[in-house]
Structure 1
Amino acid sequence: DTSSLEVVRALLADVQIQGLLLVGCYRSNEVGPEHSLTAHLEEIRRSRRADITTICISNLDKKSVNYLLSDLLRLLPRRTESLASLVLQKTGGNALFVEQFLSSLHDEGLLRFSLMTRQWEWDMDGILARDIEDTVVEFVRAKLLRLAPEVHEALKIAAAFGTQCHEDLFNIIDKDPCRLVRTASALDVAVSEGLMAKVEGPAYRFTHDQVQSAAYLLIPRSIREAFHLQIGRSLLKHSSDEDMDKYLFVVVDQLHRGAGLITDRDEKANLAQLGLLAGKKAYACSAFLPALSFMSTSLGLVVDDDWDRRRSLCFDLYNSCAETEFVLGDFETMKRHLDRIFQMAQSLQETLRASYTLVQSLIAQGDTMNAIDTALAVLESLGEVFPSDASKMLVQQELIATHKILSTKTEAELLQLNVAEEDDKMKFLNLISTATYTGNKQTLFPLVVCRMVRLSLSHGVCAESTVGFGFYGVILCGHLGDLDGGYRFGRLAISILKKFQSRNFHCRVQCLNYGFIANWREPIQSSMPHLKRAVDVGLTVGDTEYAMVGAHLYTGTALCVGYPLDTLYKEMKLYSNQMMEYKQQYIWYYNVPLRQATLNLLGRSADPIKLVGEEMDEDNLLHNAEENPNQGLLVAVIYFYKMWLQYLFGEHDLAAATAKKNKSIVTHVAARFPVHCNHIFFEGLIALALARRDGKIEHKDTIEKAMAQMKIWASTAPWNCQHKLELLKAEYAYLEGDVDAAVLGYEIAVKLAAEHRFVNEEALALERAGIFYLNEHEHATAHGLFVRACDCYERWGASSKVSHIKRQYL
């Protein structure tokens, strides 16, 4: 079924599962080209997420049937050959059919054990004359009909629940005074007949799905709906509160199957309420497809009059459906449900929940302008007004005012702030904080964050406050250069998150802290497990937007620290599939340049300095992005990875030109350490390489700026930046002709990069040192360094760089 296929999809998309063997079986005559399983298997084949081996198992042939009979009857195969031919003729070799047919022959005395001869005997003429149904289901059904009436009734009840049912449910049904025989006792007879098995639970399970199908056929088609409704009503009537909590899904499922026969309006409304409760419970368990099924069926139970009589129920149902559809990426159906809410709403309060879902969906689809405008309109209605065009002066004033208020508070005082009640303003501010950061309204971003912080200080903290304080830390680190202050507020956000124990905001806060803040102080590699965990938690609670943001941050971090490229690209593809699956297109686009850059390094592109290949065509993507005012961040990311590759492959003039085009990158990615720090680092290396050819004067400002900035960062994050600074210093000494300083600088840069586990930058330092020694005419030393560089690039997985060095220097 659909839910099972979604479980398979989730398992295949889980990058933490390194080895998994999944065995599934289906009947080919029941799964055609249009079946969902066929489409699902084809999707897996195309995505290359797993290897699929298909094994076709046909019915038993005469030889197999004969071996089965020989083993079963303890007779030589030549003695059972005639019986095997007859059994094959009657059953067609269907394994279940063979088993049930032999059982029926024994029941009828046509296959019997002779005490006189002490061996099995059979009546060939009687078996030959034995009439047999066309299908195994009909055959088993005929066998069931020979059982006692009370067993029939028990089997019908069991079959109505599916292939397995807990004994507690039968006991609840048996509380009905009209029932004279215990269901479980009657099913024990079926157990003795081999039709059912008693399993752990305690529960009863049909021994084969075809047996369950045969038992279900005992219920005439014309009364099946009524039969399910009767079971559901009985369970609802006789269940205790504890039973209802435990078996809510089962009760609602039975009632939904018979809902078409309910005519009483109050009963329909009560069932709709019950179905909504089941849907919310499934949603909380991250079972989004079953949740939507419960909610959608319940939605069909309400009519137009209920908008007047049961207004709260209607809004809750439509909103819950839309929210679940958003998580599943079904934006079209979600929009229809939201439109219905806006149509029926009579107050701002009745539209807030729907507006929140609408803004979320617009962001997910990359329509950040409309998302921001919609949220700002709602905030204005709630009393929080923002300027249509925020000036830099206004932004500076807001930041100064917020800093002034915060400077009077100690961390202990901030942690002891009063807890605010649920705040709609904070919900919408939290929602557009990311959109204003990534979109073209970046001057609005600090205003939104400052408003969140000040509302938290004045009205008390709520779960959304964690995002406000986290983003304030991002601003301090990336925009104001206050790394200590930013780190402080990143830790504060995590502390407040622990106070609220809110899993719904875990993913967001972890992404902010470990994707933007902690790297300025802590070893960058330590952030990777936190970002992976954020992805898992985000998907679990339905925060698909930030789960995919976390995936993007994780892959970007992994790429910059020298994570094995082959393994990384496999993870990238899995995350890429998830981004598309959850309709998070805007994040998918930001991640494309990372994937293509990885392919280039792996040697899977025609030209290693052009972002053209399996994932993207840089000309098309840049053209589309540059024409869209919302895509400034995407343009900056494309240019960054293009510059990086150009420098790595020795195209310094092209790299310098690309860096020059990307002057706005600091505006877009100021707080993102892997991009901001590496942009400054490589811009400095490019300028140093060109200065040796053109002279220092033309590139002096770029060189001095890069070295000064890296010195500051190395003082706060030596693990991440000291080896970069040492390489810049070595290259500068090389430029100045200070051979001794250059030799020492390269040695330190290589040593620190290795100690700090940056194999990619260890390789780069070795390569640059090799070039230095080559120009100093120390060819043996240079050769040894190039060999070591190749070894490091190979460990990284950058086969195109290995080929480049061998072609250029070895």
Structure 2
Amino acid sequence: MAQPAVPLTELDYMSSDEVDFRAAVPLTELENIASGVVYIPDDFLSRSNKSDGPPCYKSRKNDSSMPFSIGEGSESGHGSLLDDDDDDEDGSENVSVSWSFRRSHKSGNSRFTGATMQKSEKNKRKVEEVKQELKINKLNYDIDVVGREKEISTLETCIDRFVARRKPTNDDDSPRNKELIIIKGYSGVGKTRLVDPIRKLIRKHPSGCTTQGNYTMNRYGEPYSGIADAFGNLIRAIKNKQTHIQEEDIAGIGNEVVNELGSSIQSLVDLIPELETITMFAFTPDSASVAQGTVHTTDGSDFAADVQRMKHAFRTLTRALCSRIGPFVLVLDGLQWADAASLRTIDFLLSDTQNTNGLVIVGLYRSNEVDLSHPLAQTIDDFHRKTETFQFNMTQIELQPLQKTDINKIIMAMLSIDNEDTTSGLSDICARRTLGNPFFVIEFITMLELEGLLSFNLGLLKWVWEEKKIEKETMSSSNVVDLLQARMEKMSEALQLLLQFASCLGSPFKTFVLDTIWEKLGIVSGDSPTDVTSLLRRLQAENFIESVDEESYRWVHDKVQEAALMLGDASEDSFQFNLGVTLYSSLQPKEMDEVLFDAVNLLNQGRSQTRPEFAKLNLKAALKARSTSGFQSAATYVQAGIRQLPDDMWSSNRDLTLKLYSLGAEMEVALGHDKVMEEYIEEVLSQPDLSSIEKLPVYVAKSIKLCNVDLKHQATIDLCLDVLKELGSPITTGILPFSAKAIYTLIKTVKATKKRPLSSYENPKVTNDKRLRAVMLFLSRIFYASYFTSNSSLLLLSACKMVDISLVHGVSPLSGQAFASLGMVVISVMKDYKTSTDLAQAGLLIQKSFRTKHTQCQTIFLSQTYILCWTKPLQSCQRAVETAHSLVFDYDGGAM
């Protein structure tokens, strides 16, 4: 019999009315749970087998009978213990214990499998001691970071330095109030665990906060996935009052972001849905355009503007958070899988000189998966070069495998053993088998218990093992996936199947998606013991997954996900494709939008499938990626969508095909992939049934390539002139020489504008003619290219023709820019300051009729810097130009 423990009536229990302990504890340890309440003889199991009925044993405390019901063959048992001490002041019961046990088939040990304690509000002192007793024969996974004292000291130095210099002093003109910490090492070496000491340091500060986002293999290429998760997790924690942020601070963050970003906040909300809960903003997203696959035709400045817009959005959000949180630590794990847009964003945040409150960014990546040619390696090199320019500190930490003494500490912690000599031999074996990888060590010990090579001895009340047997029956386990997979394969079929499904969904994954799959496949109904919620809790108890919130889980390590993906057929393309089909046929549109990238990625595994409906879904995913500057992701989805089109795509799916090829051409231009872009353009232009308007997007893409990328302005002019002819609106006609026609047209157009009072432009006639809007677009590109080729005649003609179209047929989004351009020509050629001023003001009035902020900022820029600066106070011009500058970051896309 074990040593008596503290009587149950003297225990200090937790504040909840019911505590459910699910640890595996030896049956004989019931005495330790409730010493003084019940005595369980050593031969309890053998005597119970001989009993004709349920055996009864006396309570040593109150001498009452305690019935114990034993299952057949003593394979299981259950019972209850009741402390109804009459000596209590109020006569109430203090504690009751319900318990159960099972016999292990492998080891033959009897193990306590569950206990529920109910308590009164009295006698509260030592619940932690009781809980520890309950865990005596269960492996302990709650292990502190070991063997990283030097690295932790480095982290402490970084945080202390940041805190000390977060607020500049009078003698410090250029404080480095940003810290970049890069932690690298092999998979499983403990990079993520090294973040725990940072969290502990930050918790010491009342307003400090740490948030983390993960980039995963399944979501590789998805724009901003990790950084969006990090901000989403932080906002969720703030709303759930898991931080020290006050309600007024939440409102302040939301108001600051909305006031700064305006309508362009929608792009940020698309990435971080949680943001909507704190902005209190009336969202009116153009969801129909995304759902229908609308491809916006633009004037070619979009790519740079999109990048600037997202740069400004993330900076604004970060500044708002940093102004109310300090220190603020942003942890980004798995950077080897980060997309280019995310790497740019890290650069944006570090180089943000207006964020005076400071920021700590911690980046983690697998060094064995990043060579010198990897984008991350090149980005880190760029960070090194920028530390002085943007005044931030950069620290790199490379984790090495653990030494044998550190491995021994892990094993001692897992087995709750204090004597290091006891586990020395076992740690020698682990060091050889795992090569000092801490995650591998933990999985190796877990495997030993699972295989019966490590067990808890009930008589000795300690863990026992045979080192020679372990040495003989185990092999070197440098691949932890094998260990994890071995554990998983011993689980029930339902758990294995759930692991396979979850492994295909990335990290984190939504529980409603698994519920949908489970129900669709008819695996569960009602309150079955194999329902998804119960199974997820079991996987969480097995240390495979961890809860993010009530609606989602994530893998504790990407190697766990990799092991789950190796189960059954989960890694097969057909399995993932069928899973994608299940989601496509089962999810509601709103649910599909939440997991759009995951679902489309699964559907794209069916590479030989010809499914136009999936091609349409790829177009939707491409447009979503495009809206957040995820050009590479968008291009990938376009390629997949084109593969899913039938051979007669132009006749059977004309509109969808055109949109995919047009968007693809635009994305390949942004990526600088000339060959693929030319293939897309040629495919569209070779279709005889397409109208000039339908071919317009690829013409625009080609003009962008020539003018903005190759800087071939004359080639741009030639292309645009050809397009104008095809649109039935050539720029040169008649018998006059080119220069003479330009002067004649200028005089004629200026005369026509003078006949219109400025007030007529306040509510002008608007044209929605697609052909005329296309003509305006290519005329504007000719004006731009002519400026750089010093072709003054073409410059005059293009500006005049744009204004003529606006006067005769009605204005369009480019009309304001056209009037400002003509004003610039008039002040340069004719020296007519009054007329040019009138033209500039007319352009500004026209622009108010449209919400195309890109053309609006161009109109303001041309009007103020080339014209009104000569006739208006410079202060007013400066304020207007600053407004135009802010509009660049509030850019909404289309120019037509």
TM-score normalised over the length of structure 1: 0.60
Instruction: Indicate if the aligned counterparts of 1:166 and 1:203 stay in contact, CA closer than 8 A.
Output: yes
Secondary structure at the counterpart of residue 23 of structure 1: strand
Secondary structure at the counterpart of residue 387 of structure 1: coil
1:140 aligned to which of 484, 489, 499:
484
Deviations 1:536-591 (A, max 9, x none): 456x8599xxxxxxxxxxxxxxxxxxxxxxxxxxxxxxxxxxxxxxxxxxxxxxxx
- In the alignment, the residues of structure 2 paired with residue 197 and residue 297 of structure 1 have an alpha-carbon distance, to the nearest angstrom, of 33
Instruction: Indicate if the aligned counterparts of 1:327 and 1:542 stay in contact, CA closer than 8 A.
Output: no
Give the deviation of 1:97 after TM superposition: 0.9
- The residue number in structure 2 matching 1:456 is 806
The alignment yields a C-alpha RMSD, in angstroms, of 3.4
- In the alignment, the residues of structure 2 paired with residue 483 and residue 246 of structure 1 have an alpha-carbon distance, to the nearest angstrom, of 55
Secondary structure at the counterpart of residue 259 of structure 1: coil
Secondary structure at the counterpart of residue 595 of structure 2: helix
Secondary structure at the counterpart of residue 143 of structure 1: helix
- The residue number in structure 1 matching 2:756 is 409
- In the alignment, the residues of structure 1 paired with residue 514 and residue 866 of structure 2 have an alpha-carbon distance, to the nearest angstrom, of 55
Q: 1:197 to 1:350 in 2, by over 3 A?
A: same
- In the alignment, the residues of structure 2 paired with residue 471 and residue 331 of structure 1 have an alpha-carbon distance, to the nearest angstrom, of 32
- The residue number in structure 1 matching 2:816 is 466
Give the deviation of 1:219 after TM superposition: 3.6
- The residue number in structure 2 matching 1:250 is 598
Give the deviation of 1:451 after TM superposition: 1.6
- The residue number in structure 2 matching 1:499 is 849
Secondary structure at the counterpart of residue 604 of structure 2: helix
Amino acid at match of 1:290: S
- In the alignment, the residues of structure 2 paired with residue 320 and residue 309 of structure 1 have an alpha-carbon distance, to the nearest angstrom, of 19
- The residue number in structure 2 matching 1:24 is 363
Give the deviation of 1:303 after TM superposition: 4.9
1:103-182 residue pairs with structure 2 within 5 A? 103-107=446-450, 124-125=467-468, 127-132=470-475, 133-176=477-520, 178-180=522-524, 181-182=530-531
Q: Would you say 1:230 and 2:578 are equivalent positions?
A: yes
Amino acid at match of 1:375: C
Give the deviation of 1:230 after TM superposition: 0.9
- The residue number in structure 2 matching 1:307 is 650
- In the alignment, the residues of structure 2 paired with residue 219 and residue 478 of structure 1 have an alpha-carbon distance, to the nearest angstrom, of 74
Instruction: Indicate if the aligned counterparts of 2:485 and 2:564 stay in contact, CA closer than 8 A.
Output: yes
1:240-279 residue pairs with structure 2 within 5 A? 240-260=588-608, 262=609, 265=610, 268-279=611-622
Amino acid at match of 2:718: D
Instruction: Indicate if the aligned counterparts of 2:607 and 2:643 stay in contact, CA closer than 8 A.
Output: no
- The residue number in structure 2 matching 1:217 is 566
Give the deviation of 1:11 after TM superposition: 2.5
Q: Would you say 1:6 and 2:356 are equivalent positions?
A: no
Give the deviation of 1:217 after TM superposition: 0.7
Amino acid at match of 2:705: S
Amino acid at match of 1:409: R
- The residue number in structure 1 matching 2:659 is 316
Instruction: Indicate if the aligned counterparts of 1:519 and 1:527 stay in contact, CA closer than 8 A.
Output: no
Amino acid at match of 1:65: I
- The residue number in structure 2 matching 1:397 is 744
Instruction: Indicate if the aligned counterparts of 1:384 and 1:425 stay in contact, CA closer than 8 A.
Output: yes
Instruction: Indicate if the aligned counterparts of 1:506 and 1:537 stay in contact, CA closer than 8 A.
Output: no
Deviations 1:364-413 (A, max 9, x none): 21211121122112212323222389655433433333333333334342
Secondary structure at the counterpart of residue 500 of structure 1: coil
Secondary structure at the counterpart of residue 509 of structure 2: strand
Q: 1:525 to 1:168 in 2, by over 3 A?
A: same
Give the deviation of 1:225 after TM superposition: 0.8
- The residue number in structure 2 matching 1:587 is none
Deviations 1:768-787 (A, max 9, x none): xxxxxxxxxxxxxxxxxxxx
Give the deviation of 1:507 after TM superposition: 5.1
> Which ranges in structure 2 are unaligned for 5 or more consecutive residues?
1-219, 224-337, 525-529
Give the deviation of 1:151 after TM superposition: 0.7
- In the alignment, the residues of structure 2 paired with residue 167 and residue 101 of structure 1 have an alpha-carbon distance, to the nearest angstrom, of 30
Q: 1:541 to 1:74 in 2, by over 3 A?
A: farther
Give the deviation of 1:193 after TM superposition: 0.7
Q: Would you say 1:444 and 2:783 are equivalent positions?
A: no
- The residue number in structure 2 matching 1:60 is 402
- The residue number in structure 2 matching 1:93 is 436
- The residue number in structure 2 matching 1:638 is none
- The residue number in structure 2 matching 1:375 is 720
Instruction: Indicate if the aligned counterparts of 1:229 and 1:254 stay in contact, CA closer than 8 A.
Output: yes
User: Between Structure 1 and Structure 2, how many residues are aligned?
Assistant: 536
Amino acid at match of 1:434: Y
Instruction: Indicate if the aligned counterparts of 1:70 and 1:80 stay in contact, CA closer than 8 A.
Output: yes
Amino acid at match of 1:369: Q
Q: 1:56 to 1:437 in 2, by over 3 A?
A: same
Give the deviation of 1:204 after TM superposition: 1.5
Q: 1:14 to 1:506 in 2, by over 3 A?
A: farther
The structure showing larger relative contact order (alpha-carbon pairs under 8 Å, at least 6 residues apart) is 2
Q: Would you say 1:81 and 2:428 are equivalent positions?
A: no
Instruction: Indicate if the aligned counterparts of 2:616 and 2:656 stay in contact, CA closer than 8 A.
Output: yes
Deviations 1:124-179 (A, max 9, x none): 45544552545101111111111111111111111111232112222332341533
Q: 1:515 to 1:60 in 2, by over 3 A?
A: farther
- In the alignment, the residues of structure 2 paired with residue 195 and residue 281 of structure 1 have an alpha-carbon distance, to the nearest angstrom, of 32
Q: Would you say 1:207 and 2:556 are equivalent positions?
A: yes
Amino acid at match of 1:471: S
Instruction: Indicate if the aligned counterparts of 2:853 and 2:888 stay in contact, CA closer than 8 A.
Output: no
Q: 1:246 to 1:458 in 2, by over 3 A?
A: farther
Give the deviation of 1:190 after TM superposition: 0.8
Instruction: Indicate if the aligned counterparts of 1:5 and 1:37 stay in contact, CA closer than 8 A.
Output: no
- In the alignment, the residues of structure 2 paired with residue 304 and residue 448 of structure 1 have an alpha-carbon distance, to the nearest angstrom, of 42
- In the alignment, the residues of structure 1 paired with residue 618 and residue 797 of structure 2 have an alpha-carbon distance, to the nearest angstrom, of 42
Counting strand residues as a fraction of each chain, which structure ranks higher? 2
Q: 1:55 to 1:483 in 2, by over 3 A?
A: farther
Amino acid at match of 1:468: A
Give the deviation of 1:89 after TM superposition: 2.5
Deviations 1:192-229 (A, max 9, x none): 111001113621211000000000011437x7111111
Q: Would you say 1:348 and 2:683 are equivalent positions?
A: no
Counting helix residues as a fraction of each chain, which structure ranks higher? 1
- The residue number in structure 2 matching 1:194 is 543
- The residue number in structure 2 matching 1:287 is 630
- In the alignment, the residues of structure 2 paired with residue 217 and residue 100 of structure 1 have an alpha-carbon distance, to the nearest angstrom, of 17
- In the alignment, the residues of structure 2 paired with residue 396 and residue 249 of structure 1 have an alpha-carbon distance, to the nearest angstrom, of 55
* More displaced stretch, 434-443 vs 74-83: 74-83
1:676-687 residue pairs with structure 2 within 5 A? none
- In the alignment, the residues of structure 2 paired with residue 362 and residue 28 of structure 1 have an alpha-carbon distance, to the nearest angstrom, of 39
- In the alignment, the residues of structure 2 paired with residue 67 and residue 525 of structure 1 have an alpha-carbon distance, to the nearest angstrom, of 66
Amino acid at match of 2:801: R
Deviations 1:233-277 (A, max 9, x none): 1111112222233333222211012233x2xx4xx2222222112
Give the deviation of 1:43 after TM superposition: 6.3
Secondary structure at the counterpart of residue 420 of structure 1: coil
Q: 1:330 to 1:477 in 2, by over 3 A?
A: farther
Q: 1:479 to 1:449 in 2, by over 3 A?
A: same
1:475 aligned to which of 810, 825, 832:
825
Amino acid at match of 2:352: I
Deviations 1:681-727 (A, max 9, x none): xxxxxxxxxxxxxxxxxxxxxxxxxxxxxxxxxxxxxxxxxxxxxxx
- In the alignment, the residues of structure 2 paired with residue 66 and residue 345 of structure 1 have an alpha-carbon distance, to the nearest angstrom, of 75
- The residue number in structure 2 matching 1:426 is 776
